[in-house]
Structure 1
Amino acid sequence: MAEVLSQNEIDALLSALSSGDIEADELQGGEEKLKVKYYDFKRPQKFSKDHIRTLELIHDNYARIITNYLTAQLRANVKVKVESVQQITYEEFIHSVPNTTVLTLFKMPPLNGQILLETNEEFVLRVFDVLAGGKGLKKPKLKELTDIEKNLIRHINEGLISNLKLAWEDVVEVFPEVETVETNPALNQTLAPNEPVALITFTVEMFGTNIFINICIPFLSLEKILHKLVMQYWFSEGDDELQRESREKLNSNLKKVSIELSALIGRTSISVGDFLNLEIGDVITLDNKCEDPIEVYVEEQLTYMAKPGLQGKNKAIQIIDYIDKDVENYE
């Protein structure tokens, strides 16, 4: 907190400044420099690390789902995995995709706005080659897509998009619906250039080559459910009655677990000769007195101190103290 100067101190400072006894720079020397954090308004960071991590988990699951889908459709071994999840601007995404690509625009209520699935031309033509009777092994010559090829890839992409419902069901129930398919990304201006988006890039390993496909989710689409993309939310949400039943079941099962309980009355040591000469009726003296507490072990871990005695006709012990794990010796 800054010190408040009296009127006399202010007059003295002004007098010293006017006479040259004190320089103005000396008065500023004690001030702390403010730490400035740079912020790029063209690239606002709206997704936290938790959001990105959750999106990666969701689409890891999605990659496994569409691996099975594409393998069944193409009757060939296909492997899909998440390559990266990052926040960029919509302008950067549009500039990163080639001019000859297939953009499938779809909605996914209750998420707002349009979401984009980008499948590049090589992926499309290889899929078309297989479905048309070929083997999809040769790298296709890039060309303008025909109406037949567009309709066929729309059918495949509708299947890819419909599987998002399974991947997102643990977070929110969504209803994917394809709207349009475009082949020129430059003409697609559904978002402002500086709008932040989450870009999920997948690697599709098929026919001996790796091909990238992308899902572009605008921040505006996720804004309404952003709180559900935090890991703590997954564990905090749930049916209280179900949690109570789970705890009761866990407690009930734990009570059935058998453990070994042993009480050590005392210790002693004798020579081998004395041990060999032991006979019925001999008495061995222990290091514990009758009134001294004895050690009680649970699964070979010293846990309690107790007093020996009888319960009816049975030998018994009475717990008198609990041994802290951090205490090595009982005093």
Structure 2
Amino acid sequence: MEEKVSTEELDALFGDEESEEGQAAADPEPGEEGELTADDVAEPAVDDAGVASTNGRIVKSHDWGEKRRLSNDQIRTLNDMHDQFAKSYGPALGIALKREVMMTMEGEPKQISYGEYIGTLPNPTSLTRFVLPPLEGTAVLHLDLKLALAIVERVLGGRGDPVDDEDVRPATAIEEKVVQRVMGDLLQALRAAWIRVVDFDPTFTTSESIPYYLQLSQMADDIVIAVDFKVVVSDEFGVLLEGDLSICYPYILLQPIAASLKASQLFGSSSGASLSDEIRNGLEKVKAPIRCNLVRDKLRLQDLLEMEIGDVLTFRTNLEQAAEVVIGKTSVFWGRPGTLGRRYTVRVESFISPDDQSPSTLEDVAENVLQEGTGKSNTMEEE
């Protein structure tokens, strides 16, 4: 006998299936692959210092609406700091290269994405990472490769002439070490420029010649602050070569101290160290050119034209007379020349001017040395 299912029975049958599926969706069976249960989510543990961590990893809150850029006022402060840095480091580099060096900023610091910054760098080039503890993270120093190779040649005894385009090549590991050693004063000058905000201890770490391998940031759209400089090296005949130099700070590196980048704090009357203190603290390793003028006299042009090898020059200066000690271009001391072993020596007797016997006089001399950038090595000359 044929059986028929009524409409009420069909509704009851489908209604039970839908309720079972809904219950299963609401209460999924735990332990299935790819699913996360409440037991799998561990609560962050907070230690005595108030630092939260989960499974050994530090947990930090993140505000997706946070503005991850510096303000215009903070950028102006960075501009003033790095302008001071350029003025102090240019002469210091000139002393190391025994050349006249002028270093100037190229516009204000720029806030761009990490991808944009990498796109502006030539390939190959000279890139050196450096850390700034206690700040967490890494910054990078970019140096024009032509300028870097010329610096290496100059330090190793050459003229330091500019390299032709066809001769540009990545620096070797030894050349990178030479550049880092010459640029050691750069880190100290940078520290002096930042000291009113944070006293970090900068140190070079590794070098790269290909920008793609730099990996300064994990994301191409992360914000970095790039500060560009122009370096001009001259000799007695004029400009020898020009090159670019830039420093790149990831925003995340400066974020903890961003609130301290205030012009009133850095350049106000209540600021901390003076310029002299910064020179002393940040540029202690810079060598000031010094010479001792043993004798000084005049020579007739006729005697000069008749001079031959083996002639003896006589001077009216007494050997017991004090010699003039010149630092940079400033005559500072009277000294007594002598010898110590195989080396010439000068014992400082007094200031040339009795009114100059104060520590501030030596601070002024130090500042003048940085501004002059005479590029002379430490020698003792006879005139």
2:178 to 149, 152, 157: 152
Contact 1:122–1:142 (CA under 8 A) maintained in structure 2: yes
Specify which structure has the bigger relative contact order, considering alpha-carbon pairs within 8 angstroms and separated by 6 or more residues: 2
Does 2:200 align with 1:174? yes
Mapped to 2, the partners of 1:171 and 1:144 lie a distance apart of 36
| Cα deviation 1:88-125 (Å, max 9, x = unaligned) | 11111111101111111111123221001011211111
Structure 1 SS opposite 2:206: strand
2:98 to 75, 81, 90: 75
Structure 2 SS opposite 1:163: helix
Larger radius of gyration: 1
Q: Which residue of 2 aligns with 1:117?
A: 141
Mapped to 2, the partners of 1:52 and 1:125 lie a distance apart of 32
Superposition deviation, residue 148 in structure 1: 2.4
* Alignment-mate amino acid for residue 131 of structure 2: K
Q: TM-score, normalised by structure 1?
A: 0.56
Does 2:79 align with 1:56? yes
Give the 5 Å matches for 1:221-300.
221-234=253-266, 238=270
Superposition deviation, residue 225 in structure 1: 0.7
Mapped to 2, the partners of 1:202 and 1:89 lie a distance apart of 19
Mapped to 2, the partners of 1:179 and 1:148 lie a distance apart of 14
2:252 to 187, 212, 220: 220
Q: Which residue of 2 aligns with 1:194?
A: 221
Contact 1:162–1:177 (CA under 8 A) maintained in structure 2: no
| Cα deviation 1:58-94 (Å, max 9, x = unaligned) | 1011101211221111000000011121111111111
Mapped to 2, the partners of 1:224 and 1:174 lie a distance apart of 13
Contact 2:129–2:139 (CA under 8 A) maintained in structure 1: yes
Mapped to 2, the partners of 1:107 and 1:68 lie a distance apart of 24
Mapped to 2, the partners of 1:68 and 1:174 lie a distance apart of 23
| Cα deviation 1:140-171 (Å, max 9, x = unaligned) | 42023223212211212333223211111122
* Alignment-mate amino acid for residue 154 of structure 1: Q
Q: In structure 2, do the counterparts of structure 1 residues 131 and 233 end up closer, same or farther at CA, with 3 Å as the change threshold?
A: closer
Mapped to 2, the partners of 1:214 and 1:197 lie a distance apart of 12
Equivalent residues, number? 197
Contact 1:108–1:176 (CA under 8 A) maintained in structure 2: yes
Contact 2:131–2:203 (CA under 8 A) maintained in structure 1: yes
Q: TM-score, normalised by structure 2?
A: 0.48
Q: In structure 2, do the counterparts of structure 1 residues 235 and 161 end up closer, same or farther at CA, with 3 Å as the change threshold?
A: closer
1:204 to 222, 225, 231: 231
Q: Which residue of 2 aligns with 1:297?
A: none
Contact 1:154–1:181 (CA under 8 A) maintained in structure 2: no
1:98 to 115, 122, 129: 122
Contact 1:227–1:233 (CA under 8 A) maintained in structure 2: no
| Cα deviation 1:222-264 (Å, max 9, x = unaligned) | 111111112234478959xxxxxxxxxxxxxxxxxxxxxxxxx
> Any stretches of 5+ residues in structure 2 without a counterpart?
1-63, 272-383
Contact 2:229–2:246 (CA under 8 A) maintained in structure 1: yes
Mapped to 2, the partners of 1:58 and 1:127 lie a distance apart of 25
Mapped to 1, the partners of 2:267 and 2:86 lie a distance apart of 24
Q: In structure 2, do the counterparts of structure 1 residues 235 and 219 end up closer, same or farther at CA, with 3 Å as the change threshold?
A: same
* Alignment-mate amino acid for residue 219 of structure 1: Y
* Alignment-mate amino acid for residue 170 of structure 1: R
Superposition deviation, residue 213 in structure 1: 0.6
Mapped to 1, the partners of 2:111 and 2:232 lie a distance apart of 24
Contact 1:129–1:136 (CA under 8 A) maintained in structure 2: yes
| Cα deviation 1:166-201 (Å, max 9, x = unaligned) | 111122211111111111211122302111111100
Does 2:89 align with 1:66? yes
Percent identity between matched residues is 29
